[in-house]
Amino acid sequence: MIVVNFKTYENSTGEKARELGKSCAKVSENCSTDIIAVPQFQDISLLEDLDIKVFAQHIDPVEPGSHTGSILPEDVMSAGASGTLINHSEKRLEPGVIEATVDKAREKGLTSIVCAQNPEECAEFSEFEPDYIAYEPPELIGSDTSVSSAKPGLIKKAVKRSGKVPTLTGAGIKSEEDVSKSLELGCEGVLVASGVVKSGNPVEELRELCRGYNE
Ligand code: G3P
Q: How far is the CA of 30 from the centre of ligand 1 (A)?
A: 23
| CB of residue 147 inside a 6 A radius of ligand 1 | no
Q: What are the structural domains of the chain?
A: 2-211 (3.20.20.70)
* pLDDT tens-digit map of 170-207: 999 999 999 999 999 999 999 999 999 999 999 999 99
Mean pLDDT value of segment 141-151: 97
Evaluate if residue 52 carries a pLDDT over 80. yes
* 14-to-9, 25, 42, 104, 204 alpha-carbon distances in Å: 10, 17, 8, 28, 22
Q: How far is the CA of 65 from the centre of ligand 1 (A)?
A: 33
For 64, phi then psi, to 5°, come to: -50, 135
| Mean pLDDT score across all residues of the chain | 97
* pLDDT tens-digit map of 10-25: 999 999 999 999 999 9
Give the pLDDT confidence score for residue 68 in this predicted structure: 98
* pLDDT tens-digit map of 90-100: 999 999 999 99
| CB of residue 142 inside a 6 A radius of ligand 1 | yes
Mean pLDDT value of segment 98-115: 98
Evaluate if residue 49 carries a pLDDT over 80. yes
Evaluate if residue 117 carries a pLDDT over 70. yes
From the CB of residue 203, how many other CB atoms can be counted at a distance below 10 Å?
A: 15
| CB of residue 159 inside a 6 A radius of ligand 1 | no
Closest atom of ligand 1 to 195 CA is 9
For 58, phi then psi, to 5°, come to: -175, 150
Evaluate if residue 127 carries a pLDDT over 80. yes
Give the pLDDT confidence score for residue 54 in this predicted structure: 98
Percent of the chain with pLDDT over 70: 100
| CB of residue 191 inside a 6 A radius of ligand 1 | yes
Give the pLDDT confidence score for residue 214 in this predicted structure: 79
Evaluate if residue 147 carries a pLDDT over 80. yes
Question: If pLDDT is split at 50, 70 and 90, which confidence band does 215 have?
Answer: low
Q: How far is the CA of 64 from the centre of ligand 1 (A)?
A: 31
Active site residues: 88, 136
| CB of residue 195 inside a 6 A radius of ligand 1 | yes
* pLDDT tens-digit map of 148-162: 999 999 999 999 999
Question: If pLDDT is split at 50, 70 and 90, which confidence band does 34 have?
Answer: very high
Q: How far is the CA of 136 from the centre of ligand 1 (A)?
A: 8
Q: Is the dihedral of CA 189, 202, 45, 14 positive or negative?
A: positive
Closest atom of ligand 1 to 89 CA is 4
